[in-house]
Amino acid sequence: MMTPDLGEPPAAPPAALRLRIDRKALAANWRALDAMSAGTVHTGAAVKADGYGLGAAQVVPTLEAAGCRDWFVAHWGEVAALLPLVPAASIAVLHGPMNTADVAYARATGVRPVLNSRQQIALWLEAGGGPCDVMVDTGINRLGLELADLGDAMIARLDIDCCHSHLACADEDSPRNAMQLQRFALARQQLTARRYSLANSAGIALGAAFHADLTRPGLALYGGLARPEMAGKIAQVARPEAAVIQVRTLSAGDAVGYNGTFTAAGAMRIGVVALGYADGYLRCWSGQGAFHWRGRRLPVLGRISMDMTAVDLSAVPDVCEGDWLALDYDLASAAKISGLAPYELLTLLGQRFARE
């Protein structure tokens, strides 16, 4: 018996999770950081991890319209999403080439590899070279050439667009910041590049001495306060919302969720929303988090499940199934409550959120 041709499957119905992205706030954050980057300094954007979890396809056009012209991703697999949006030569891949396939991809697309070791330099030169960036380690001890490597004859053969380094403690008032700045100055003396870049989001707030030619903000673009000096200048960008998929009435003694960590003291109304730890709303929010509905705070009840969270609806008798609740997700306060870093709060948000 032949299987009937059913044609194309229908479009999926709307998601029960949505991530509202405030494009005006995103653009304003970039402009604020650009204003803090003094003089002729250019301000780029780290858009790795799919635009810090917000969706590169959403954030890149907004930042490009605001004036951004330099883009940074970590993995080669993140390049494809950017190629239809910005010139390939404006994209730099921070992890650099690990093998000849990476090198071939860089040369075919025109994106710039950030070379982090003599091995990566050799791979690049053996393939014919071309414009590239170089990372120098000045004290974070992650990726990057050692200062002692900078005299290597191979480096003189490179066509270096930008020489980078990365600050380890820019979000703190640490003596390591001055140490790294001094080491970066030594690197600049030994390594010829068209541009030099040291400051991440927090580094921008350390002042003009750290700005060099190009800054690379990430977290602050998306609403994170990387340093106290940014308070009042950086606005919230991401606002997660979840739909109520069921409303229930509990009686005294009814327990909610796995292991019954919340027990109703009396009759109460609760809602179950389509959000759980598979979406990045981790179990650390159990009994700690909250949602909002028309100015009313609705506490999370019991333990967060994989796909569901229970919410106290006692104060909002008009909330019904299908209504949307806004997650309390201001990055600064959410970090204090959950113990998660603002970076984690953003990049954990899963693919089941419709980005709007």
Pairing status of strand 238-250 against strand 17-21: antiparallel
> Quick check: is 258 catalytic?
yes
DSSP assignment string, 241-256: EEEEEEEEEE-TT-EE
What whole-number distance in Å separates Cα of residue 297 and Cα of residue 330?
14
Given the residues 24, 48, 105, 222, the one annotated as active site: 48
What whole-number distance in Å separates Cα of residue 124 and Cα of residue 42?
27
Given the residues 52, 196, 222, 258, the one annotated as active site: 258
Q: What is the 3-state secondary structure (H, E, C) of 55-97?
A: CHHHHHHHHHHHCCCCEEECCHHHCCCCCCCCCHHHEEECCCC
**Inter-residue contact 53 to 349 (CB < 8 Å):** yes
Could you count the other beta carbons within 10 Å of the beta carbon of residue 252?
A: 10
What whole-number distance in Å separates Cα of residue 135 and Cα of residue 286?
41
Residues sharing a CB contact under 8 Å with residue 296, sequence separation 6 or more, in sequence order = 315, 316
Distances 197 to 42, 102, 162, 204 between C-alpha atoms, Å: 10, 23, 7, 11
Give the catalytic positions in this structure. Answer: 48, 258
